Chains A and B, each alone.
Chain A
Amino acid sequence: MKLKKKTPLIDQHDKYGFWGGKFGGSFIPETLKKPIEDLTKEFHKLRKDRKFIKKRDFYFKNYIGSPTSFIKLENLSNHLGGAQIWAKVVSEANGGAHKIYNATVHALICKSMGKKYIVGDTGAGYAGKMLSMAAKKFGLKCKIFMGAKDIKRQKPNCDAMKKNGAEIVPVYSGSQTLVDAVSECMRYWVSNCDNTHMAVGSTVGPNIFVKICGWSTAQISRELKVQLKKEFKKIPKKIKLINCVGGGSSAYGFWSEFIDYDKKQIELIGVEAGGPKKSQLHAAPLSRNAKIGILHGAASYVCQNNEGQIKETESISAGLDYPGVSPIHCFLKDTKRARYTYATDEEALQAYKMVTKFEKLNPSLEPSHAFAEAIKIAPRLNKDTIIIVNSCGDAKKDRDILKKKLGKY
């Protein structure tokens, strides 16, 4: 298994859609074959279409607010000693997280395919909130599928979705979290694929959804590359790009431009959700060595039992609370290009506390997992090492959880 240089990772799959011969693919019911084939054709046409790219860039700039800033966390770096810690503040994007890139692109595709309805899944509520925003912006009717448990714990994002005119469909089956929301959304699409477009909220699902999402979030690393050159004159010699990984959309977007670099120069570190310290449950299929399985139309490392039943996961962060992970991250793991680890709920909370104490930054619980790893390794590294954390979400949505756990928000 080998990575190709100069080819975007999202395109390094075989004709059946597998990365490294075994991750990804399209394990879908027959009914979805045609809509997925249509979507695949449309996307391949659009990504080569200059007008479409121009449109995308226009909305990325004027609607999303690209580029998001790249800042040094002076106080945190000084406090920890060791490596310099920087942040790419993707949470500045319109709506407060990276999910807006994928949502905007899906809305544009939906328009271009002449469909009037758009549906999507959501865990933390960001994918749903952003899709509802994009739907409103482009005049599409929008339905969001969300686990009943997540609806309760991510209320601010639900309020936003409703304000944008989207219908939230609560999902009561199974564990009532993201995994069930995705299943229900796919089931809805099976029944309504003739007039409805589906947006999968991360780099997961059947092959084409991994590609569209990765293509959209890649904007993050394009910006970062320019910003790095501007700040340091050239790409520094020692960089560590740390990102949380649930489905893996922000991590792929943060890394895509840097995958071709030697890992001694640019290390890619993915941080999964380790769950509560004392719990057996987690949402860390990569770093806790889950077996390959098929979930939501793709083969990837999946938290599951011996029989192939998908396991319940547990994490304080709804956005990372997912038993599977993107096939492209499985590929990056097996080719050893990226390193994956996890942070527990407690570590993420501690990291949140420390970052907010020293910096004017309010990372949500998802990137707090990434900060936990940065805080862990920074003191051991020298000043020439540049740690960059993708602060991909804003903590506003977590205010109820933070209030409960830390006594304040």
Chain B
Amino acid sequence: MNYSLISQSFKNARKENRPALLTYTVAGDNTKKTSLRILKSISKYADICELGFPHNTPIADGGQIQTSSYRAIKNGIKINDIFSIVNDFKKNKNNKPIILMGYYNMIYQYGENKFLKKCKKVKVDGIIVVDLPYPENKIFASKCKNNKINFIQLISPTTSKKRLKQIIKDSHEMIYYISMLSTTGGKLKVSPKKILQEYKKIKNQNKYKNVVIGFGITEKTISSLKMADGLVVGSALCKEISTSLKKRQNPVKNVTNVVKRLKNKIL
């Protein structure tokens, strides 16, 4: 799996002496078309785009992402639409990695193999499954590898030392560190110093893995964590979409501005 788009993006960011910026938006929020336009537009500033496939009983998402997910589902988004969003996106932005993120039941109902075949076809670069932890994810992760798709392992502040070693050993090119005990979009309740300490524990195990930090990252907090390989912003973007819709403003423009500002803070 050498030289994947994901690794390349981290390399490029490193060359510019900054962390990679990862965005998370929900596919179909608020419509299929808008979400594609948002994706295309923010990818000018983002290095890697995560695209959530919305589920209606998310057990690890906070209010902002829940709202986005319910909105997308209400507007009729289906898994096949999500693949067509990626397909469309990749036609113009061939070099921008896309990571799909969601809950296992959706993959399970679609069928693991069929899901991965589709992912490969539309050129999905990575997959995060929130509720399929290690070691239960071993089989699925290796299936991803066989399809040249990165399976991204999650590590949290509660992960034990022993697990940490095992997870890193079994991980692919990228690891996602959850900054704190929280659902997505919580207020950052741990000091950046503490977060970076934990982050370094992962890097010390294997410095070649690209480790990103997510949860609680906003325009206010992003610069304090910029020594990481990558930083993920999700809820702040979902919130911006909600606010824009409420104010009858253009979410594409507004979200792009947020991403642009985020980028400027880590340059």
Contact = CB atoms under 8 A, between A and B. Distances in A.
B and A form one assembly: yes
Interface of A: 16, 25-35, 37, 173-174, 179-180, 183, 186-187, 190-194, 291, 293-297, 302, 304, 306-310
Interface residues of B, number: 40
B163 A297 contact: no
Contact of A16 (B62, B131, B136): B136
State the majority secondary structure of interface residues on A.
mixed
A294 B183 contact: no
27 contacts: A26-B136, A27-B131, A28-B133, A29-B60, A29-B154, A30-B134, A31-B60, A31-B156, A31-B178, A33-B163, A179-B57, A180-B57, A183-B57, A183-B58, A187-B60, A187-B183, A190-B181, A191-B181, A192-B181, A302-B105, A307-B78, A307-B79, A307-B106, A308-B55, A308-B105, A308-B106, A309-B55
> Closest 9 A-B residue pairs measured CB to CB?
A308-B109, A34-B158, A31-B156, A294-B105, A29-B60, A308-B105, A30-B154, A308-B106, A27-B131
Nearest to B186: A191
State the majority secondary structure of interface residues on B.
loop
A295 B57 contact: yes
A29 B56 contact: no
Nearest to A33: B133
Contact of B178 (A30, A37, A194, A294): A30
Given A30-B178, A295-B105, A309 B110 contact: no
B72 to A, nearest CB: 11
Nearest to A305: B109
A309 B73 contact: yes
Contact of B108 (A34, A180, A191, A308): A308
A293 B159 CA distance: 27
A194 B59 CA distance: 17
B210 interface: no
A26 B59 CA distance: 13
A33 B159 contact: yes
A37 B132 CA distance: 15
Interface in B138-188: 154-160, 163, 178, 181-183, 186
B10 interface: no
Contact of B182 (A27, A190, A297, A309): A190
Contacts of A180: 57
Nearest to A31: B156
A297 B59 contact: yes
A203 to B, nearest CB: 18
Contacts of B154: 29-30
A31 B158 contact: yes
